[in-house]
Structure 1
Amino acid sequence: MQTLKTLVFISLALMAFAGNSVLCRLALGGGLMDAAGFTVFRLLSGALTLMIICLFLSHQTADGITSFFKPTGRQIKGALMLFSYALCFSYAYVLLDTGTGALILFAAVQLTLLLANFLAGKRFVFIEWLGVLLSFSGLIYLLLPAWGTPSLMGFVLMTCSGVAWGLYTLAGKGSEKPLLETTKNFIWCVPLAFLLSLLSFQPNVWTSHGLILAVISGALTSGVGYAIWYAVLPKLSLSQAGVLQLLVPVLAALGGVVFAAELLTIRLMLSAALVLGGIYLVLVSTKSASPSE
């Protein structure tokens, strides 16, 4: 039963990640909102939603809100990583398409976690390396036709976003209260969001559709999705956490088939098989490993 709950949580978190890429690209690629405005409303709506959920689940009164504004060094670091990820993510998607952005993002996440493993003195066994390479090859096979020549600035920004998200994932490995910690991380992003709004205030380019997309991204696919991810991270090794996220671009592509009437191609099916096969190898190879790895 516990394994089923973990699988459900992982699935929900990965679908939220895929949703973020789609929502951000719809808003920014379609010119419905500027990157700074999208980031600000995304973080604000995420902070507000999570605070309400925390208060509701803990049955606290409004006085309990004050507990959210007592940061620790861990919360400040988490907020900085989360803000850096969200800011670079938004600006990158002005320059990149959804598939290319997702490939760069999660490749950077995977490499960040691999490096963290290496610096911690932990080494992958052969079957883990094989699984990671198999998943990478499936992802590249899926997105190669749409790769083209990505913008250099878009590439750099999305790589920075991936590194920040990888570090945010690392921080979540030690999370004891995932919902509360995610809430505080979002809350302490708010001052940074206000500073960003002062530096780049362009309400003339905001549309109602763009605002709705930003709020959905913040409240659901970011706020709730990231809290779920923090809840499941302590049960995963770093190799598992990294390789599982390589499934996100595939989920985004499958979402296009289901919700946008896009074609289910042989390329998509083969890519999904490669990514899933690689994930299976990593999961099997680390099955007996401690969650703290």
Structure 2
Amino acid sequence: MTHLNSITGHTKTVALIGTPVEHSMSPAMHTASFEYLGLDYIYLAYNVRPEELEDAVRGLKALGFAGYNVTMPHKTFVGQYLDELSPAAELMGAVNTVVIKDGKTIGHNTDGAGFMRNVQENDLDIIGKKITVVGAGGAGSAIYTQAALDGVSEIDIYNTKDTFFDRAAKHIKEISDKTGCKMRLIDLADKDSLRLSVAESVLFVNATRVGMGDLENESVLSAEDMAEGLAVADTVYDPPITKLLRDADKKGLKTLPGLGMLLWQASIGEQIWTGKEMPTDFIEEKFF
């Protein structure tokens, strides 16, 4: 059991790397879970800038960490520095969970499975239906890939037309070809297309950082474009209720805050590191 006064040379360390990480609930959440389960582990967060990523990956391995989570902006870049990728992480082109086992770093992605579990827990049926996702980066890639694998029939993905856009379009086509899901990447500047896509969808997902930090008062979708019967999900969990979700709630729409996805992806990740199931009821009651 990992109390602060019982940390020893045997205590195993798990970490979060990314920038920013100061807002993260993961250290408190995972350490509480480890304590509840009687595991001699502790979880810490480290601010790692893009130019430090390769050194951080090598350092965590050299120091004998049990594993780590990867958050923005590193999810689509960290894979090149790892020894192996799980099939899901390779297909998604993004890693959010790394286990260090037998001297090897193995990248996984629990974001997509965590998101889909959260959808299920909220009694929302999206299988065989259309969804709209804004954000083609790490979290967005995991979500639309897992959704396609699980049987969502059509997914429109919107992203700013940056240097990443063409590579993302190619990746999305590969996923579409492998899964049979109808998928397309569209310039986020095309607001008429976004409005029409949302009107045809059962679920809208924000998979960008809009809604947190200096973008806390902004939203990727205007309230006027939220169609009746739409469910609205956010991957941002700090603040717990974003402007996007507030606007949706005011219109009487079903909302899925980012904390739900955080809980379920964390549960899957913890099992990868420790082989034990996170006490999700306890964690939800304590932190949510």
By the TM > 0.5 criterion, same fold?
no
Which bin holds the TM-score, normalised by the shorter protein?
under 0.3
Instruction: Identify the structure with bigger relative contact order (alpha carbons < 8 Å, sequence gap 6+).
Output: 1
| TM-score between both structures, scaled by the size of structure 2 | 0.28
